[in-house]
Amino acid sequence: MFVLLVAALLATAQAVEFHLQNNEPGPVWVGIQGNPEHTHLSNGGLILDQGQGVVLQAEDNWAGRFWGRTWCDPATNHCQTGDCGNKIECAGAGGTPPASLAEITLKGWGDLDYYDISLVDGFNMRIAVSGFVVNFDSSLTFVSDSSNPLMETEMVANTVANVVNALLISTTTALVN
């Protein structure tokens, strides 16, 4: 099972660290898009090899989205789901549907940190969000899946042998759903 761990840790009063870790047996292409007026961390994308992790720094009021890009071809930089224009660094471009989104707003309304799981662009992997740093545990309850009977089938990415990828987002800050 694919696991991408994104943990927001308060490093200083002015910065947040996002820890991304690939626990999948192969490479993972990550899409990152900052909201308007916010940085596209790592210029919007990166590849994590099996077992590889990376720490990204962001302002403590960062807002944006993360998504996993699946079935990516290194020769063309094209991904079957979540593609952002045949490039590794999305540089502000969003993912092409289907793409499950994890959206995070730090220091939003009421100076609170918020997250949401969005399937508005379809479903290509399960996503879990936790309000604290956790290690991946298969007993976690996933908050999005493709079982929604109202979701159009063309917006759902079919997986091989019913193996569904998962994106785990966790943070040490208190998140409001």
CATH number at residue 109: 2.60.110
Average pLDDT, the chain: 71
Tokens of 77: 């930089």
**pLDDT tens-place string over residues 59-108:** 889 999 998 888 899 999 999 989 999 999 999 999 999 988 888 888 88
The Cα–Cα gap between 35 and 19 comes to 19
List the domain range (segments joined by +) for residue 56: 4-176
Residue 43: φ, ψ to 5°: 55, 25
**Total domain count for the chain?**
1
- Global confidence as pTM: 0.73
Short-list 89, 81, 40, CA closest to 63: 40
